[in-house]
Amino acid sequence: MAVYTLPELPYDYAALEPHISAKIMELHHSKHHKAYVDGANTALEKMAEAREKGDFGTIGKLEKDLAFNLGGHLNHSVFWKNMAPDAGGEPEGDIADAIADSFGSFEAFKKQFDGVATSIQGSGWAVLAHDSVSGRLVTFQMYDQQNSVPVGTLPLLQLDMWEHAFYLDYLNVKADYVKAWWNLVNWQNVNSRLSSLKGVEIV
Ligand code: MN
Which residues is 142 bridged to in the sheet? 125
Distance (angstroms) between ligand 1 centre and the Cα of 174 equals 14
Distance CA 197, CA 27 (A): 30
What distance in angstroms lies between residue 55's CA and the mean position of ligand 1's atoms? 33
Domains of the chain and any CATH numbers: 22-81 (1.10.287.990), 94-196 (3.55.40.20)
Please choose, from the candidates 189, 196, 200, 16, the residue with its C-alpha nearest in 3D space to the C-alpha of residue 92. Answer: 189
- 27 C-alpha to ligand 1 centroid (Å): 10
Query: What pLDDT, on a 0 to 100 scale, did the predictor assign at position 200?
Result: 85
Q: How far is the CA of 33 from the centre of ligand 1 (A)?
A: 7
Tens place of pLDDT for every residue, the chain, 203 residues?
799 999 999 999 999 999 999 999 999 999 999 999 999 999 999 999 999 999 999 999 999 999 999 999 999 999 999 999 999 999 999 999 999 999 999 999 999 999 999 999 999 999 999 999 999 999 999 999 999 999 999 999 999 999 999 999 999 999 999 999 999 999 999 999 999 998 888 88
Instruction: Mark residue 70 as left, alpha or beta (left: phi above 0; alpha: psi -120 to 50; beta: remaining).
Output: alpha
pLDDT at 118: 98
Give which of 92, 111, 97, 113 is closest to 187, Cα–Cα: 92
Output the CA 84–ligand 1 centroid distance in Å: 17
Q: How far is the CA of 139 from the centre of ligand 1 (A)?
A: 19
User: What is the number of residues in the chain?
Assistant: 203
Nearest CA to 202 out of 147, 143, 130 is that of 130
Distance 110 CA to ligand 1 centre (A): 21
DSSP3 helix / strand / coil % (the chain, rounded to 5):
55, 15, 30
pLDDT score at 1 = 76
From the CA of 191, how far away is ligand 1's center (Å)? 23
| Among 189, 202, 203, CA closest to 94 | 189
Rounded to the nearest angstrom, the distance between the alpha carbon of 100 and the centre of ligand 1 is: 29
Report yes or no: 93 and 116 within 8 Å, Cβ to Cβ.
Answer: no
